[in-house]
Structure 1
Amino acid sequence: MNRWSKSRSARLFFGVCAVFGVISGAAPDTHARQSVIAHVDLSKPITEVPQEMPPLFASEMPSSFKDLLVRLRDAREDKNVVAVILNVENAALGLAQMEEVRKSVEKIKAAGKPVYVHADGIATGEYALASCASDISITPTGDVWLTGIYGESPYLRGMLDKMGVVPDFLQCGDFKSAGEMFMRTGPSESAEKMENWLFDSIYDSLVGMIAQGRGSTPDKVKALIDGGPYTAEDALKAGVIDAVEHRQDFIARLKSKYGESVEIRRNYGEKDALGDIPADPFTLLSKIFQMMLEEPEESNKPVVAIVYVEGAIQSGEAEYSPFGGSDGAYSTTIRKALDKVADHESVKAVVLRVDSPGGSALASEIILDAVKRVQAKGKPVIVSMGNVAGSGGYYVSCSGDAIFADATTITASIGVIGGKLATTGGWSKLGINWYGYQRGKMAGMMSSASIWNDEERARMTKYMHDIYDIFKGHVTKYRGSKLTKPIDELAGGRVFTGEQALKLGLVDQIGGMADAVAYAADKANLEDFDLRTYPEAPNMFKMMFGGGDDEEYAESRAGASLFTADSPLVREVHALAQTLDPVRAAALIRAVKKLQLIQAEGVVTMMPQEWVIR
């Protein structure tokens, strides 16, 4: 849910080191003993969880964020590399990921290697990333949309009213506002207050990044932002960039400085999943089957395991697709991965990488319990929060031996919501009537026929508060004296940035994945070790033909209904909105998917409404 993109605006969708010297990854090509300028393209698809095979019919292999950090480390250490070029246009990074990339860039500069950015145009988020570079140049008549951030949230009540659907949602905590997008046409007073303190923190972090990168002050940066947007020429006059030049002139300038023979190595360090494609179709087929069947080699070194919790937290097992990855964080799959690292003798420490807005309360409890079993084996579990680790994302994190978050990570949201949709009116509009039968006073409690009556609402409220008390109990048990305020002043659905969470004792340190890995290795007294990622994606053969000890990837899920993100009705609305306003259309679909999850689970620990920041 979190990506910066460029369309005269920077967008962020919310719903997230020394030891990297031993990370296995895409090693630089050092056979040619000549000067190299490493080109790193940040606009390509970035996933948290590494993928072993390119998705079928995809134009390119997505790069994992871990591999991106490895490539930047390699550029720093490669003796042939004399400089680095970053492509930041349409950078496919969330704010927290951007922070960590900036740290890697600072290390490259500290190694005496300049970092260059050239673009046809950039927006606020991309500029915050580019500002740490040694040199920024823009194409003549290009633009610098340094204008700040604008945010908005969708509210679906009017749409539901038109559909004849009545939402009925409850929340534990005044700030647990995830249900407001379905119940209201605008934010409550508490929700608006929370959104403003989040925007203040995010804006201050962006301003601080720019000020630090350009050697300026926050006040001067804010004045520059209020003076935007800029043409390339005006940006140069204002000191926002360093040069105005066409790409050919930019390349010529680098060759003039580093020599005509310098090689600009595009996509430095990227792995080619297929390598050289054989011309002979039989050889190609043989190579594909070899890739489908091969298993990764294991070394004898001790291991720091990275276990990923990415996407909405849901019950059950992940269903991986040959068309690209999985669609969430599934409790059974992650539980099995944690059990595996707990039992594996070579695994000495675990980094739990969480980039999730939460989801199922039950699934969150299952994952947390599995984390505690790893710790019971004497293995430290260090949490690394990505762009977002809130609600259920914080639930699964709270017992970590240490919790790392970036300053702009969105986290906390300790609270519970529950609800359902009464869809009878929608069916009636289609001329379809339902007649129900019931045995047992509460048998129809979660039926979509009608909203709750008073007794059902009281039962549901008690059930939700029981789960809420368990959530708060976990936080007070595992964070204990680290909390700087009573739990009820931190919970209630309140959302904080990483910077704010640090002051409140909800996280331990500001830092990224590399920092968490270094800390985990230190806790386990490791110097030379391997990194291994979990859950392990099945190879192509298993995805296509099944296999494995327990058919972990074989579970299918329920099909679409009238009021889900996959329904024909929503697809038609989305198709129109996608043409008129793709950013808002994407937020709408994420909101409807959230509604679908609530319908399936009943009670969830999920972040507040969707945010679109431009």
Structure 2
Amino acid sequence: MRTLWRIMANLFKWAWRLINFIREFILNLFLLLLVLVGVGVWMHIKNANQPVEVQQGALNLDLAGVVVDKPAVTNTLSKLGSQLLGASSSRLKENPLFDIVEAIRQAKTDKHISGIVLNLRDFAGGDQPSLQYIGKALREFRDSGKPIYAYGDNFTQAQYYLASFANKIYLSPHGSIDLHGFATNSLYYKSLLDKLKVSSYVFRVGTYKSAVEPFLRDDMSPAAREADTRWIGQLWHNYVTQIAANRQITAEEVFPGAQQFIAALQKNGGDMAKYALDAGLVDELATPAEVDQKLINVFGWDKQTKDYHATSIYDYALKKQPTKGNIAVIFADGPIVDGAQTPGMVGGDTTAAEIRSARLDGHIKAIILRVNSPGGSVTASETIREELAAARAAGKPVVVSMGGMAASGGYWISTPANYIIASPSTLTGSIGIFGIINTVEKSLSTLGVYTDGVSTSPLADVSVTKALPQEVQQVMQISIENGYKNFIDLVAKSRRMTPEQVDTIAQGRVWTGSDAKANGLVDALGDFDTAVRKAAELAKINQPELQWYQDQPSFADLVFGQMNAQIRAVLPETLQSVLPAPMYDVMSMMKKQPGLFDKMNDPQNRYAMCLTCGEVR
């Protein structure tokens, strides 16, 4: 018996030592990785100010990932991702819109740059106003006399939109251009919540406030369908019209309709590339080797890279901006939440602090608030709005530049502006309020779990494990109606309308920038350049200089942020390989409903948010 215990003790001792060894090994690997990343970051920062030699030749617009107003991961982290660890999914990369436009405009007058090559294979897209702004810069470059060439094996709709600004578009003989139109899709959970016996208490104001419909229905309501059909049709019209103008063909030739497209394919045997050539969508069908030779003939042979002379847009150094500008540019990019800012979110306290800093800065004469948000917390939106109103009251003109979205809370924070500018394709309006509280008392009861207790008032007896008291429901609905009234009054005051006039175009309805202009919700149609000119005009500035308010990461942020970026790049592909395809598609769609599964932390559970504005495919 003693021998048996000795054997068991030895086994336990060696097993314990093995566990300790594995633990120490993993920790040492993590420490080694941390040291390597830290050294890499330090070396990158040390060499960041060294000038990059620009090659005589093309600017290679080899965009990878998506275009956003303000990346959640900084440029430094993005570059480190490829240099240090090699990010496994470049399509997750976020590219700052204004850096891209500035690079194209700088290249227009750069004697070293003789043309642009659009290499868009890894470009995942962006909202329509962002693509239009890049397209404007490409048109300026082309009008300067320098050529633009585009090539692809296949073009998505976003890729082709930018490619259409080129002087010449090459397509692989076995390639295609995927023009199919726009669509929106949302998940609806009513039946799921019923099966899970989750009680959803929904409070809202607005006929078209469809943000809460996923909790109430299994499909889109007729009112939401009618409203969304209008704005998505306008976006598609803007898209097709611009491409038709670029290619000097008709809108019907760009996209003749599904049945006509199918008939044309049947006629030519299903050859997608030949269809694109016959329709005038591309100029020539050519293999990669043939295109390379054409570009070498134009830009010359680079012995070192064994390719045509070119400088990647990621290596193209922008001229340094002045440290002190006279126009502050502050971003509200993402869902609006209470508290400090986190990546991909608009923190009410953080944004208000930036506006206050600009208000108190003697060098700043005007403020541009760049809004690209579906909205969010009413409390956080009001925090930002109050600070913006204070800046205007202090005599500093405020101009709002709307990006892809400035809806619900995004419009709320825009109301104090002296002037509001939207793109024709901006999604704005969605003036409405809602609140949601879920409880699981029915779910727990099926497991034999119940909640009971005492309270001094029905208003105090609130728990996720109990049905919401009727009195609390009444308070919530009154609060939501008050929030809607405040929203209407803010809009009416800022737009010089009556509350009744605002209510007719509110009710949660989404409008494009063009409709918003017709309805008096914005002052002018334009882009960021229009906003800069207006801010300079209002502040009587002869030479506008922009001061961008953006977070500067610390050394620790760079190190841990890069590791987080790498994990984010690897994890989705890992999950995709182990999850069934339908489940992965559902997870992807859930992520694309902005703000719904992120931090919803309004202290009064009141939200001004448009969930249908975030994803157009």
Q: Which amino acid aligns with 2:512?
A: T
Is 1:185 the counterpart of 2:187 in the alignment? no
1:27-106 map, 5 Å: 35-49=56-70, 51=74, 53-54=76-77, 59=86, 62-89=94-121, 90-106=123-139
Q: Is the 8 A contact 1:37 1:83 kept in 2?
A: yes
Distance (Å, rounded) in 2 between the aligned partners of 1:578 and 1:397: 43
Distance (Å, rounded) in 2 between the aligned partners of 1:133 and 1:164: 56
Equivalent residue number for residue 479 of structure 2: 463
Distance (Å, rounded) in 1 between the aligned partners of 2:602 and 2:69: 26
* Cα drift, residue 214 of structure 1: 1.1
**Aligned partner of residue 475 in structure 2, secondary structure:** helix
1:503-582 map, 5 Å: 503-541=518-556, 579-580=581-582, 582=584
User: What's the CA shift string for 1:469-496, capped at 9, x where partnerless?
Assistant: 1111111111115x99911111100101
Distance (Å, rounded) in 1 between the aligned partners of 2:469 and 2:615: 35
Q: Which amino acid aligns with 1:227?
A: F
Equivalent residue number for residue 278 of structure 2: 237
Q: Which amino acid aligns with 2:141?
A: I
- Structure 2 stretches of 5 or more lacking a match? 1-47, 88-92, 266-270, 561-573
Is 1:154 the counterpart of 2:187 in the alignment? yes
- Runs of 4+ deviating beyond 6 Å: 26-30, 542-545, 572-578
* Cα drift, residue 396 of structure 1: 0.5
Distance (Å, rounded) in 2 between the aligned partners of 1:528 and 1:605: 38
Equivalent residue number for residue 18 of structure 2: none
Q: Which amino acid aligns with 1:510?
A: L
Equivalent residue number for residue 405 of structure 1: 422
User: What's the CA shift string for 1:505-559, capped at 9, x where partnerless?
Assistant: 21122222233223323333334453222243342357889xxxxxxxxxxxxxx
* Cα drift, residue 368 of structure 1: 0.4
Distance (Å, rounded) in 1 between the aligned partners of 2:354 and 2:514: 30
Distance (Å, rounded) in 2 between the aligned partners of 1:516 and 1:592: 26
Q: Which amino acid aligns with 2:484?
A: Y
Question: Structure 1 stretch 391-400 or stretch 35-44: which is displaced more?
Answer: 35-44
User: What's the CA shift string for 1:112-154, capped at 9, x where partnerless?
Assistant: 1121111110123332332222211111211211222233221
**Aligned partner of residue 411 in structure 1, secondary structure:** strand
Q: Which amino acid aligns with 2:77?
A: P
The verdict on how the C-alpha distance between 1:451 and 1:587 changes in structure 2, with shifts beyond 3 A counting, is farther
**Aligned partner of residue 390 in structure 2, secondary structure:** helix
| Higher helix fraction (1 or 2) | 2
Equivalent residue number for residue 511 of structure 2: 496
Q: What value does the CA root-mean-square deviation take over the aligned residues?
A: 3.3
Q: Is the 8 A contact 1:28 1:269 kept in 2?
A: no
Q: Which amino acid aligns with 1:522?
A: E
Distance (Å, rounded) in 1 between the aligned partners of 2:538 and 2:57: 37
Relative to the length of structure 1, the TM-score reads 0.79
* Cα drift, residue 360 of structure 1: 0.4
Distance (Å, rounded) in 2 between the aligned partners of 1:250 and 1:112: 21
Match among 443, 449, 474 for residue 465 of structure 2? 449
The verdict on how the C-alpha distance between 1:47 and 1:207 changes in structure 2, with shifts beyond 3 A counting, is closer
Work out the percentage of aligned pairs sharing the same amino acid: 26
**Aligned partner of residue 152 in structure 1, secondary structure:** coil
Equivalent residue number for residue 437 of structure 2: 420
Distance (Å, rounded) in 1 between the aligned partners of 2:575 and 2:225: 28
* Cα drift, residue 608 of structure 1: 3.7
Q: Is the 8 A contact 1:334 1:535 kept in 2?
A: no
Distance (Å, rounded) in 1 between the aligned partners of 2:403 and 2:594: 23
Distance (Å, rounded) in 1 between the aligned partners of 2:169 and 2:332: 36
Distance (Å, rounded) in 2 between the aligned partners of 1:122 and 1:174: 39
Is 1:227 the counterpart of 2:269 in the alignment? no
Is 1:214 the counterpart of 2:247 in the alignment? yes
Equivalent residue number for residue 175 of structure 1: 208
Equivalent residue number for residue 394 of structure 1: 411
Distance (Å, rounded) in 2 between the aligned partners of 1:132 and 1:175: 37
> Highest CA radius of gyration, 1 or 2?
2
User: What's the CA shift string for 1:276-328, capped at 9, x where partnerless?
Assistant: xxxxxxxxxxxxxxxxxxxxx99575432111111110111124xxxxxx231
Equivalent residue number for residue 141 of structure 1: 174
Distance (Å, rounded) in 1 between the aligned partners of 2:391 and 2:62: 37
The verdict on how the C-alpha distance between 1:436 and 1:271 changes in structure 2, with shifts beyond 3 A counting, is farther
Is 1:606 the counterpart of 2:609 in the alignment? yes
Distance (Å, rounded) in 1 between the aligned partners of 2:583 and 2:158: 20
User: What's the CA shift string for 1:376-429, capped at 9, x where partnerless?
Assistant: 222111111111110000100122122122221111100100121122233445
Distance (Å, rounded) in 2 between the aligned partners of 1:36 and 1:573: 42
Equivalent residue number for residue 341 of structure 2: 318
- Structure 1 stretches of 5 or more lacking a match? 1-25, 274-296, 320-325, 546-571
The verdict on how the C-alpha distance between 1:452 and 1:245 changes in structure 2, with shifts beyond 3 A counting, is same
Relative to the length of structure 2, the TM-score reads 0.78
Match among 264, 267, 272 for residue 312 of structure 2? 267
Equivalent residue number for residue 246 of structure 1: 287
